[in-house]
Homo-oligomer: A and B are copies of this chain.
Amino acid sequence: MPEIREDLITGGMVIIATERSKRPQDFTHVNEPPKGSKSCVFCYGKEAATPPEIIAIRPGGGLPDCPGWTVRAFPNKFPAVTAAGNPDYINVGGRKAVKAVGAHEVIVDTPEHNQTFGQLPDTCAEQAMEVIASRYRHLSGDLRFQYIQVFKNSGAAAGASLEHSHWQIITVPLVPETVAREIKGTESFWEANGECAYCRMIAEEKNNGSRVIEQTKEFVVLTPFASRFPYETWIIPTKHEPFFEKTGIEEIKALGRTVRRSIRRLERTLCRPPYNLTIHACPAGIKSRSYHWHIKIMPRLSTIAGFEMGSGIHINPVSPEMAAGLLRETQPDIQDDSGMNGVEAND
């Protein structure tokens, strides 16, 4: 019997279509044949093909924009926003718009062309997250930027135009309507219940157990009750904190390791699915104590089509309880691809 579930905070709905239930091997996503490293500008030795680096980690030392790095951040060569000026109003065809002033940065998390984030050694995953957090902290100090979106697209079906593993950050000079609404949801919950909606969710999910994938001192990893995507995975810090930029160094390192394991579980369970990862945090433009930053990982195994676009309701053929069960059983080993649930690995 298919059922409609509502998100506790946004009221967003999903149909969990259990009649259409799918096992991991029933998802026929195509891993494009790798283009290879020849024309890749994110590989060692191609540093001159990107804008000059902003920050990099070079364990053995060395010059900027040369090989030797493990993580490297630089401005996007084809930015969606413009770095210069102020976010003034402009008149366009009789209507008001705002100059899209912001930063658009790229963080490459491995020099190896075919390495996935899930395959990184723990230290490299930690370093990547440290660089991301450092850029986030820096950008949160620019008063023009009201909202900072950190995200990772992996695979062509998830919108990654380059296959070499990387993250992106885009800042915008306004708080997006959807973000403001989610924060309003947590404020309403706080007013009604005297506590944080995400803290409550963590307590309930730990108690119930059926949707929990992993628990550490710092994080709970789970499949949300109203999962919009098959195998959607959330990483929520156990400590209440609205602002990503206030997260301490040890938690950031632990986050790198937890994200690495969570991605690896998806890679091994679903044979390297295309996915999007997003960081959700309270923006400088709102400053609400009720929010609780977290990460969402969304495998892209089905297409967002007309029904989803019109109604806002996603149809998910995999229950989060079944997804959590499978992901919980999958060991996040770096090397061993042989046990990918019987699905042949692509590498």
Taking beta carbons and an 8 Å cutoff, which residues of A are in contact with B?
1-6, 10-13, 15-17, 19-20, 78-82, 87, 90, 92-95, 97-100, 147, 149-153, 156-160, 168, 170, 172-174, 176-179, 204, 207-208, 210-211, 225, 276-280, 296, 298, 302-307, 309-313, 315, 321
Q: How far is the CA of A159 from the CA of B307 in the complex (A)?
A: 10
Can you pick out 25 interface pairs between chain A and chain B where the beta carbons lie within 8 Å of each other? A1-B82, A2-B80, A2-B100, A3-B98, A3-B100, A4-B100, A5-B97, A6-B177, A12-B178, A13-B176, A15-B172, A92-B225, A93-B211, A94-B208, A158-B303, A159-B302, A159-B304, A168-B307, A177-B312, A179-B311, A278-B310, A279-B310, A296-B309, A296-B310, A304-B304
Q: How far is the CA of A150 from the CA of B177 in the complex (A)?
A: 26
CB-CB nearest 4 A-B residue pairs: A159-B305, A151-B306, A178-B312, A278-B310
Copies of this chain present in the complex amount to 2
If A153-B305, A177-B11, A321-B93 touch, whether A172 touches B2 (CB-CB below 8 Å) is no
Write out the residue numbers on chain B whose beta carbons fall within 8 Å of the beta carbon of A2.
Answer: 80-82, 99-100
Main SS of the interface on chain A? mixed
Report the minimum CB–CB distance from A114 to chain B (whole Å): 21
CB of A305 within 8 A of CB of B170, answer no
CB of A4 within 8 A of CB of B172, answer yes
Report the minimum CB–CB distance from A181 to chain B (whole Å): 8
